[in-house]
Amino acid sequence: MLCLGIETSCDETAVALCDDGRPVAEKLASQIDVHALFGGVVPELASREHLRRMGPLLRALFTETGLGLADVDALAVARGPGLLGSLLIGLATAKALALGAGKPLIGVDHLHAHLMAAAIGRDVPYPALGLLVSGGHTQIMLLRSALDIAVLGRTLDDAAGEAFDKAAKSLNLPYPGGVYIDALGRDIEAERGLFPRPFLDNRNLDFSFSGLKTAVATYVAAHSELRLDVMPSPGGPIDPLDWPMAMRKVCAALNFAIADTLRVKMERALDARDTGPVRALLAAGGVAANSRIREMLTDLTARRGLPLFLPQPKLCADNATMIAATGCLLGRAGLTHGLDLDAVPRGRK
Ligand code: KG4
Ligand code: ZN
């Protein structure tokens, strides 16, 4: 089954083809340069950028692969969660193509697709425990199979990615700052008590990261050497040696605080009686590209004797390959939608 995937839930416009779950090609246009000027995603600008870029990306995808709409067996599209105006551009495009070509339409849950990015080209043994860490979401999930997923815990306020991005903003680092915090904190011994590991003093699997941004902002306010006037231009290569050691230490401590908070709740989920024994661990989402978090997960699964499934770094962030691959899974199971498919901006419960 050749599936065309369309992703427009936030600030990446992307289209991709997967053949029976195997990636064929992807065209992606990032809007980071547009939103970086505002320090965060501006929803109306995002929708306009999706509209402007969608047509040329589709044309480029078909030109590069030598394939056309006639070769496609199904149209898969991210239906949420995400920004409503942005989702509508993807949905309208997918519906038009499905109607024009007489092919089935498949609405894909964006968070499900993130997790499935970890399974691309691999045989995951189920049940598995999933960790989804992105700019908008932080969830622990139980995957009874690739298509039967229950949310065990979620953030009550900010997502892990937001904690990274807001802390980066306090440090005057470019948006989105997670990748800077990751790089600057690498190869430095983290001072473990510098920042709190929030919301561990309970028995649940939920998260609350909003206090971390206050902790970092308070620390930065008390240490003027941490506020650099000159911001590097976003998107350029990051060399940690260009940055003061004080800044790198803050980043290392923050990477530790977030990674270790995730570790404690994942261990708790693995030990929970109602989770039952799982056979693998999957992690996905933009924040799963973080090197400290990848190290933590590698160590955790080695100790527990579980295989770890992580997407390649470029498939951690938003992309359309994960939508197309999940579309193949759903399509093969006969799960398609009508042309009245709706956007679900707040996601499924
Ligand atoms: O999954 P994603 O691309 O978009 C959403 O669906 O939200 O995740 C974006 C988030 C941003 O908060 C970004 O700062 C964070 O992922 N991120 C990272 C890293 N790379 C991206 N956070 C920490 N370390 C990284 N290496
Ligand atoms: Zn995402």
Global confidence as pTM: 0.94
CA-nearest residue, atom 13 of ligand 1: 178
pLDDT tens figures, 107-140: 999 999 999 999 999 999 999 999 999 999 999 9
Which of 180, 135, 126, 153 is closest to 40 using CA atoms?
135
Q: Examine the pLDDT at 175 and tell me if it is beyond 90.
A: no
- Flag the least confident range among 163-167, 232-236, 293-297: 232-236
Q: Which of 158, 251, 287 to mutate to test the pocket of ligand 1 (most atoms within 8 A of CB)?
A: 287
Residue 135 marked as a ligand binder: yes
Residue 136 marked as a ligand binder: yes
Please tell me the distance from the alpha carbon of residue 4 to that of residue 73, in angstroms, as a whole number.
Answer: 8
- Flag the least confident range among 61-70, 77-86, 273-282, 297-306: 273-282
Q: Looking at residues 160-184, what average pLDDT do you find?
A: 93
Which of 294, 322, 239 is closest to 3 using CA atoms?
322
pLDDT tens figures, 202-261: 999 999 999 999 999 999 999 988 877 666 665 677 888 888 899 999 999 999 999 999
Ligand 1 nearest-atom number relative to CA 289 = 26
- CA 7 to ligand 2 centroid distance, Å: 9
Contacts of 284 (CB under 8 A, 6+ apart): 114, 115, 117, 118, 130, 131, 132, 133, 310, 311, 316
In this structure, the residues whose C-beta lies within 6 A of any atom of ligand 1 are 10, 134-136, 161, 164-165, 176-179, 182, 285-287, 289-290, 317-318
ipTM for the whole complex: 0.98
Angle of helix 84-101 relative to helix 43-65, nearest 10 degrees, comes to 30
Which domains, and CATH codes, for the chain? 2-116+318-332 (3.30.420.40), 126-310 (3.30.420.40)
